[in-house]
Each structure stands twice: as C-alpha cells, then as structure tokens.
Amino acid sequence: MSEIENVVIIGSGPAGWTAAIYAARADLKPLVFVGVPKSTPSIVLPGGQLMLTTEVENYPGFPEGITGPDMMANFQKQAERFGTRTRGEDIVSCDFSEKPFKLETSKGETVLANAVIIATGAMANWIGLDNEMRLARSGGGVSACAVCDGALPAFRDQPLAVVGGGDSALEEASYLTKFASKVYVIHRRDAFRASKAMQKRIFDAPNAEVLWNKTVIDVLGEDVITGVLLKDTVTGEESTLDLRGLFVAIGHTPTTEFLEGSGIAFDDAKYINLDSRSSKTNIEGVFAAGDVADSVYRQAISAAGMGCQAAIDAEHYLSALST
C-alpha cells in the first residue's frame, strides 16, 4: 500500500492536465494516471480524444493552430514542470466509501488519496470500420467532431457527409453547410431522432441532402477519403458516394465504467452529475472535469476550464481538511 496522495487525477486530456497544472502550482504534488491505450475502435488513448485530432484551430493562444498530440504533449510538459508525477496505468476501480479513498490500478496496486479528480473523458462512438479508423488516426478526412475539424481548409467547398440521426449529427451537418459545397446526412432509418427544430434546419438548407435508410459499410481512399460505400438498409443495395470528409456523429460514451459501484452519481447516459457551478460530485473530496461530466460542450477549451475549477475545488477541500 502506498503513502497517501494529496490528489490523484485520473485521465490525461485537457481537463486532467489543466487540473494537474493548477494542483502542481498549488504545491499539491498531484499524481496523474495517464491511462494505457485500449483496443480499437474504442480508442481510449493517453492524451484523450485530442490524440485523434490533427489540427486544433480553435484553442485560444495558438493563432497558427497546433496538432492535438503536440498540444497534449505541451500540456503534460507544463504540468510536469511544476512537479506533477505521472503513471502510465489505468485506475480500474474506486472505493470512495471511506477516507482516504482507495483506487485500484491496472497493475493490481492500491493507491490511497485524500482527493480525486476524475477527468477520463468520453469517447466518440465510431462505426467500427478498419478504413474509418485508419483515416481518422491519420487525419485523412474522417472525424468525430465537425465543430473541431469542419472549418479546416481541406473541407472547404467540398462534398462532406455526417453519419447519424440525432441532435449532434444534425447540428454538425448544419454547421458544415457553411463551408461545404454539399452536406449529406447518412442515416440508417427513415426518421430522425433529433428535435424538430434541428431537423428543419437541415431540410431548409439548400446544400444539405438526407440519405435515408443507408449505412456506411466502407470508407474509400488511401491517404485521404475519396468516398464511402453505402448499403441500403431496406433493399440491401450497395452504392458509392464521392466525399472529401466524413463526420461520424453517432453518440459518445463517457468513460465511467470503472466507477460502477463507487457511489458516484451519474445521469441516465452515465455522465457524472456535478453540483451546479462547481466540479463537486455527490461524494465529498471527489471532483470531476471535462467530457466525463459534460455531454453538451465537449471542447478542449471547456474541458480545460473545468480542469482548472476541479483543481481549485480540490485545493479548497484539502486545505479545509488540514485546518
């Protein structure tokens, strides 16, 4: 059993590293569990979802843009500069029933902590095709975030497609109509689950077209996407569609499975519930930041902001403990 840590941060995306920077500068000597890569297509990577983003153009302070992996490497460097320690393991279960909290690592070790910040993010769901994942990883025009990537020069005045029929898919499609020559919405059924208002935006957009009852069964192109192979879910007929960008918007899955049974309160979709206007969970001394507790904004900058809040909340909590 280890010594008691002041604060353990679980996760190494923008929320986790920002929490580490603040906690380290407050002299809390945080320990970050960076995580280990998992099997594709689920892709939980050390560094989080930004490891799948080629160019980040909307994070303030980088007027020329920066790649997602470079940005995460910089975040880590900045956190380590102030004394953050890291471990390349996962936390596989948590016992928050008594203090200090007990965290079990993927190597079977138990780590004790006075405060915990959960910043494990949410994974975009992918269709699960080999070529989809290959081109998503290489920045070849497949993405799970139109707001992050849609405005890149490669997508301007090009035919693009969004997969999905929920609010995210239609919001992303609507966003893309501003840049693309044409936006196809590829949906596996003949009705959207998105709100009527969101549907109207797509039906009214002159450069948007809905392809009903279609699934993507392959993504075409070597270095960059050139199109997709579609299958009609009613007739079984196959067809190709020329594209220069594919945005997969079929939901997200928060990384909270390891918290099952820990007493942490979730919403119906398994995102962590937070006290309004703070990073506090229902368990005193356990805080959450970033996409794991945010199904709405899901941006690097909003996650970083939440990481900052969590570190400050943890610092206040720890200083109250020691007085």
Query: How near is the Cβ of 179 to ligand NAP at its closest, in Å?
Result: 19
Which spans of this chain sit near ligand NAP (rule: CB under 6 A)? 127, 163-169, 171, 188-189, 193, 215, 250-251, 295
Number of H helices, E strands in the chain: 7, 19
Whether 145 is catalytic is yes
Is 308 an annotated catalytic residue?
A: no
Marked catalytic residue, from 90, 94, 148, 308: 148
State the Cα–Cα distance between residues 281 and 304, nearest whole angstrom: 18
- Indicate if the alpha-carbon torsion angle 28, 287, 72, 109 is positive or negative: positive
Distance CA 252, CA 233 (A): 23
How many CA atoms are closer than 13 Å to the CA of 283, on its beta-carbon side?
25
Specify whether the CB–CB gap between 38 and 49 falls below 8 A: no
Strands 208-211 and 214-220: unpaired
Least separation in angstroms between residue 295's CB and ligand NAP is 6
Q: Which residue is nearest to ligand NAP (CB)?
A: 166
Give the pair of three-digit tokens for residue 314. Answer: 């943890």
Residues 6+ apart with CB under 8 A from 261: 93
Helix (H, G, I), strand (E, B) or coil at 284: coil
| DSSP-derived 3-state class of residue 78 | helix
**Candidates 149, 291, 294, 313; catalytic one:** 149
CA 152 from centre of chain: 19
Identify the active-site residue in 90, 145, 291, 294. 145
Q: Is 130 a catalytic residue?
A: no
Least CB distance from residue 230 to ligand NAP, whole Å?
11
Active site residues: 145, 148-149
